[in-house]
Structure 1
Amino acid sequence: MGRIEGLGRIDRERLSAVIRETSGTVSVSDATDILKVSRTDAAKMLARWANKGWLSRVRRGLYVPVPLESRTPDVPLEDPWLIAERLYSPCYIGGWSAAGHWNLTEQIFRTLVVMTRQRPRDRSPVMKGVSFLLRTISERSLFGLKLVWRGQVKVSVSDPTRTVLDMLSDTRLGGGLRPTVDVFRGYLRSENSDLNLLIEYGERLGNGAVFKRLGFLLERLAPEAEDAIVACRARLTQGNAKLDTVLETGKLVTRWRLWVPKTWIKEQRVD
């Protein structure tokens, strides 16, 4: 465990200026612009301040300030959303992380789902004890988002409808079939439920499997939503999809061109 050491007057003034002009994270580029020094000098300063315990390194070239009340520089990430926005923008918080934000699930997931335009090599990085799950998306997929304040920074998160759509597109983003269905149930009961918007989003996303899963689930969870069910059937694409994008196939429900896991067939009495 490290300890916090004192800084000279010039270092204190420079560090104060950097922290004052940033919002939660500090990069080499930030320090370069704020202090009007070279990138090399900025990088050395940040590394020196981190060694003395005033900054905590998240990854190469990125730091977070250590709270004044902290007795050690080994501090956890105060808000992983800020790190995601800083490292993976353009991006948004999605999947189970967004579902938790909108109170669509009571499950607690310790991994943050980040949908990004970038193509990072490491899709499951761990930074200061926080796990991230990264998924690359196309530019046209950046819709259905809300901006929320995290401290002094605005971070994009998928709105409730887009959150459900992403999970129906890939159940892994919901933590599997069961959690995804639970989130969908919660969505249908919530004030944010909007099946017309869900159909609209599905068309924009252009993933035909979404309508197969959506129509199938609506018939069993909300059979009264006849218009939405008809809309899903009208948008069925050729070929068969899987209800769960991970589990092995079980029975083919030809009406929806959908393979349904055996365990789900038994529990839900699929005909």
Structure 2
Amino acid sequence: MEILTGIGTIDRERIAAILRGTKGTISVGEAAGILNVASTEAAKMLSRWAKKGWMSRVSRGLYVPVPLESRSTEIGLDDPWLVADRLFSPCYIGGWSAAEHFDLTEQIFTTIIIMTTQKPRNRRPVIKGTSFMVRTVSKNALFGLKPVWRGQVKILVSDPARTLVDMLTNPVFGGGIRSVKDMLENYLMSGNKNLERLIEYAQQLGNGAVFKRLGFLLEKIAPQETDAIGACRKRLTTGNARLDPKLNNTKLITRWRLWVPENWKMMKKKGDPFDR
């Protein structure tokens, strides 16, 4: 554990200049540009300040300032979204992290989901105590995104419809299909409801399993949404999908070409045993 130690006037002035010229995170390149020094010299400075406890290294070449009130560099990330954006850009915050932001769930998820065009080796990094789940998407999949201000930085987050499409593509992004079903219900009761947009995004993403899962769920929890259910039926692809690959899908719903668990097949409305 690094303990804060004193630094000289010149270093204080340099750190102050860097803090004025950055937005929550500090890269070697930014420090070099602000101080008008070579990257190698800036890297040495940041490393030295980290050893003295005035900076905290979050990854190679990337630092965050240590709050003045802190007595140690062992700090958590003040805003994990800022760090995620710097490490994995081009990217967006998605899945349950976006669902929490848009009040589609009351569940508390401690892991941040990042959708990126990068192909990182470590897809489950833990940075300063914060866990991330990183998934690779194509550049063509960077749509349906909404800029959200985090301090002075704009971070891209999947909008509510895109968030649901991602979770219907792979229920793991929503914590499993039971959680995704609850978020879909919340979406249908919210001001963000836009089933036409949801269908459009699913069509653009081109994953046939989304329509099978969405149509099946709508038929169970919102049978009055006949237009959306019909739109899903028209877009059914060949082959059978699984409602949630993590569950024991033993019953085939032929009209949706979807394998589901036994209790899902019998579930007809909110309040059935499935919901408990």
Matched residue, 1:94: 94
Determine whether 1:141 maps to 2:141: yes
| TM-fit CA distance, 1:250 | 1.2
1:207 aligns with 2:207: yes
The amino acid across from 1:111 in the alignment is T
d(CA) in 2 for partners of 1:248, 1:59:
39
Does 2:33 correspond to 1:29? no
Is the Cα–Cα contact under 8 Å of residues 43 and 61 in structure 2 kept in the other structure? yes
- 1:30-87 Cα offsets, whole Å, 9 max, x none, are 1121112122111110000001111011112111001112222211100000001110
Q: CA deviation at 1:267?
A: 4.8
Whole-Å Cα distance in 2 between the matches of residues 156 and 14 of structure 1? 31
Bigger drift between 65-74 and 251-260 goes to 65-74
Counterpart for residue 47 of structure 1: 47
Instruction: Report deviation, 1:232.
Output: 0.6
Q: What is the identity, as a one-letter code, of the residue corresponding to 1:130? A: T
Equivalent position of 2:238 in the other structure: 238
Q: Which runs of 5+ in 2 are unaligned?
A: none
Cα deviation, 1:141-167, whole Å, max 9, x if unaligned, reads: 111111011011100001111111110
1:152 partner letter? Q
Q: Corresponding residue for 2:191? A: 191
CA distance in 1, matches of 2:196, 2:2: 55
Distance 2:148 2:117 in 1: 19
Aligned-pair identity in percent equals 62
Partner of 2:76: 76
Aligned partners of 1:262 and 1:93: how far apart in 2? 34
* In 2, Cα distance between equivalents of 1:21 and 1:99: 32
Shift of 1:245: 2.9
Task: State the secondary structure of the residue aligned to 1:32.
Answer: helix
2:6 match? 6
Shift of 1:266: 4.7
Q: Is the 8 A contact 2:220 2:267 kept in 1?
A: no
Q: Structure 1 CA distance, aligned partners of 2:13 and 2:159? A: 41
- TM-score in terms of structure 2 length: 0.95
**Within 2, Cα distance between the matches of 1:245 and 1:210?**
13
User: Could you tell me which residue of structure 2 aligns to residue 127 of structure 1?
Assistant: 127
Uncovered stretches (5+) of structure 1, i.e. residues with no partner: none
**TM-superposition CA deviations, 1:179-233 (whole Å, max 9, x none):** 1111111111111011111111111101111011111111111101111111111
Count residues with an aligned counterpart.
270
The AA in structure 2 aligned to 1:220 is K
- Aligned amino acid, residue 227 of structure 2: D
**Relative to structure 2, which stretch is displaced further, 29-38 or 112-121?**
29-38
The answer for the alignment partner of 1:181 in structure 2 is: 181
TM-score, length of structure 1 as denominator length: 0.97
**Structure 1, 124-133 or 240-249: larger mean CA deviation:** 240-249
RMSD, matched Cα: 1.4
Q: Which residue of 2 aligns with 1:227?
A: 227
Quote the Cα distance in structure 2 between the aligned partners of 1:167 and 1:245.
13
The CA deviation at 1:248 is 3.1
Equivalent residue letter for 1:131: S
